[in-house]
Every structure is written in C-alpha cells, then in structure tokens.
Amino acid sequence: MLVKIVDMDNARGIQLPEDLMAQCGFTDEARLTMKNGGLFVEPVRPVRQGWAEAAQELAESGEPPLLADVPTQWDLTEWEW
C-alpha cells in the first residue's frame, strides 16, 4: 500500500485507512520500532492479554499442569528426601 507522508503541525505523518486500523487491532496507541532500516508499527496490547482465557482452557481440558512431574535440576541434585 502506498501512502503519502504529510505535514502535521511540527511533525510529519501518514494516514491509514480505518478498516486497516481495525484489522490490525489499533486503538489509541501504537508502538513504533526501527527494524532493518524501516519503521514497524504495531498495536499496543494489554499486558498478559488472553492469559486468563488460556489458563481456563487448560484447566477445562483435563491435561496435567505444564510442569507437573517434570523435575528441575535442583530437584535432581539438591533436594534430599
């Protein structure tokens, strides 16, 4: 998609179509990062978004917890029964 860079007060910017903004999940903020000489724009999502739903799905699946019965190095070398 080709867009024009426009003057905006004391800055420059681009305008993105509303449907593209919605498809990408943009709301009021965006995160900008430089990658490989270009500008990467991504929506800001709440921290841990979706974690509660994923934990609920795991609990309902009947699967054992992710670390159940997986001994750590400490379990194997330090712990004394």
**For 4-38, how does the pLDDT look when each residue is reduced to its tens digit (9 = 90+)?**
999 999 999 999 999 999 999 898 899 999 999 99
Output phi, psi for 62, to 5 deg: 85, -5
pLDDT at position 67: 66
**Predicted confidence (pLDDT) at residue 48 exceeds the cutoff of 90:** no
Q: In terms of pTM, does the model score above 0.75?
A: no
Provide the CATH topology of domain 1-46.
Pemi-like Protein 1; Chain: D (2.10.260)
The span from the first CA to the last CA of the chain, in angstroms, equals: 64
Region 45-53: mean pLDDT is: 86
**Cα–Cα–Cα angle for 76, 77, 81, rounded to 5 degrees:** 75
pLDDT at position 50: 87
pLDDT at position 11: 94
